[in-house]
Structure 1
């Protein structure tokens, strides 16, 4: 059972976000699903990012990149944003040659899904003070575009139904990233040239590509650069940025096999196993 550190006589709002971050992180470490959100749900993206920032500190691993996710249309006006970001940690990045297989550890009873992604790798540090990137200036910092698969996961089984502020608070609903081969000549390709299809256990569950991303993959990279810089997390050389689910978000369970076919650019597979408690965090 997850410990809920609540022995303080008074908890102000900042302490409340800290407590939530502690509970979310502990649930991930224990590989333990949470039936309910562990505290008052954040109502704004700012509140969600406050929880996320504290959780990043608690996770104590270097951030190797950032996932970019789409804010559902129904939430855009209220939140005044069309995208969100979440950290991808160094220990959660898998480099998998095309046609070979990665692994996804899913929390029993939690949320687990795969997403077909186009993934940028940065070739230089982003200036800490710059927060006005567009697709042209963002492209200057990118030195590679790779095929990839986001491993979306959370202890909260209904995380997406709880809304973007909650998604943001729990690492953006990210568990890891599989990075595949680079896409040669990507700067000269049209969005329509980037196509992919996702399969689970051999059955097609979604088709799409770069044209499914509002503004294209570079718009997602520009968003990540701006959002992270405003939050004090400027992107660094070598970091990866996923650009959004191109074929949808596809639920997947332990024992299943996920595959994304990127046509001439290669294919990636991942097998799904049950997550186990981290060492030193037995249940």
Structure 2
């Protein structure tokens, strides 16, 4: 179950700062408070921010944590929420516009996305990659919109990334890759272009441990947070070609080898209705 104990005031203030900046479409000059001491505290900020955000969670992005940046939890990855209002279908015939925070951080990431076709057992807190692969799920292609009001979010590290929705501001979802459990992940290849210039090449094998390891982490960490994954939820497994900075007005294209491509263009984040009154 979710931790229902009151959020410490300092952590609640961080959540409020990020939520207000996102709702207003504004950049932040600095982290809004004292950086949480560990990932557990970062997730408490994230949970408080999710509770304040006027939308529902439809999935989770997975990000990798470099060995030198991990804490006592031992987690080698982190989670951030994907909200319904920021989930967009790819357009096979044109570009999809997406929002980044002008003056903040903005990037695109090629993603292999799993959609659960059954609820995960609520009491199962630890998952192996093999167990994760056995849970019914559909594999799709996608592009994560990685954006935060805080320009230095990645430089400041995982505790900060977790605190601000995992540095996520949306997901553009493409078509299904059929029969994924029988595929060789070496054949899942992607390339990312910014304004027509190739900026990254990779695929599923670029993810440490592959798709199944990322899926297993999402299942386990979500369950331990009191948020076991449900049928229909999405898991964006991690950047398959790198994290590619993008500015307002620039275009991006991600080609997924034999599995189509996704075209996008960045625009500045706009305030939510009523955001001037506070979120």
Shared fold, TM over 0.5: yes
Unaligned runs of 5+ in 2: 1-5
- What is the CA distance between 1:27 and its match in structure 2? 0.3
Q: Secondary structure at the match of 1:68?
A: strand
Contact 2:38 2:71 in 1 (8 A): no
The within-5 A match list for 1:112-261 is 112-261=106-255
Structure 2 Cα separation of the partners of residues 240 and 224 of structure 1: 10
Q: Which moved more, 1:50-59 or 1:142-151?
A: 142-151
Q: Secondary structure at the match of 1:264?
A: coil
Structure 1 Cα separation of the partners of residues 127 and 232 of structure 2: 18
1:96 to 85, 90, 96: 90
2:31 to 27, 34, 37: 37
Structure 2 Cα separation of the partners of residues 100 and 234 of structure 1: 36
Please tell me whether residue 106 in structure 1 is matched to residue 107 in structure 2.
no
String of CA shifts for 1:247-281, please: whole Å, max 9, x gaps: 11000011100110001011001111111111101
The within-5 A match list for 1:76-95 is 76=70, 80-95=74-89
- What is the CA distance between 1:106 and its match in structure 2? 1.2
- What is the CA distance between 1:126 and its match in structure 2? 1.1
Misfit runs of 4+, over 2 Å: 76-79, 97-101, 140-143
C-alpha change, 1:142 and 1:112, in structure 2 (3 Å) is farther
Q: Secondary structure at the match of 2:43?
A: helix
Structure 1 Cα separation of the partners of residues 236 and 93 of structure 2: 20
Contact 2:7 2:44 in 1 (8 A): no
Q: Secondary structure at the match of 1:64?
A: strand
Structure 2 Cα separation of the partners of residues 259 and 79 of structure 1: 36
- What is the CA distance between 1:77 and its match in structure 2? 5.8
- What is the CA distance between 1:101 and its match in structure 2? 2.4
- What is the CA distance between 1:140 and its match in structure 2? 2.5
- What is the CA distance between 1:245 and its match in structure 2? 0.5
The corresponding residue for 2:3 is none
- What is the CA distance between 1:61 and its match in structure 2? 1.5
Q: Which moved more, 1:106-115 or 1:95-104?
A: 95-104
The corresponding residue for 1:8 is none
The corresponding residue for 1:73 is 67
TM-score by length of 2: 0.94
Unaligned runs of 5+ in 1: 1-11
Q: Secondary structure at the match of 2:258?
A: helix
Q: Which moved more, 1:186-195 or 1:199-208?
A: 186-195
Structure 2 Cα separation of the partners of residues 137 and 168 of structure 1: 26
TM-score by length of 1: 0.93
Aligned length: 272
- What is the CA distance between 1:129 and its match in structure 2? 1.1
- What is the CA distance between 1:97 and its match in structure 2? 4.5
Contact 2:254 2:261 in 1 (8 A): yes
Structure 1 Cα separation of the partners of residues 267 and 50 of structure 2: 24
Q: Which moved more, 1:203-212 or 1:102-111?
A: 102-111
RMSD: 1.5
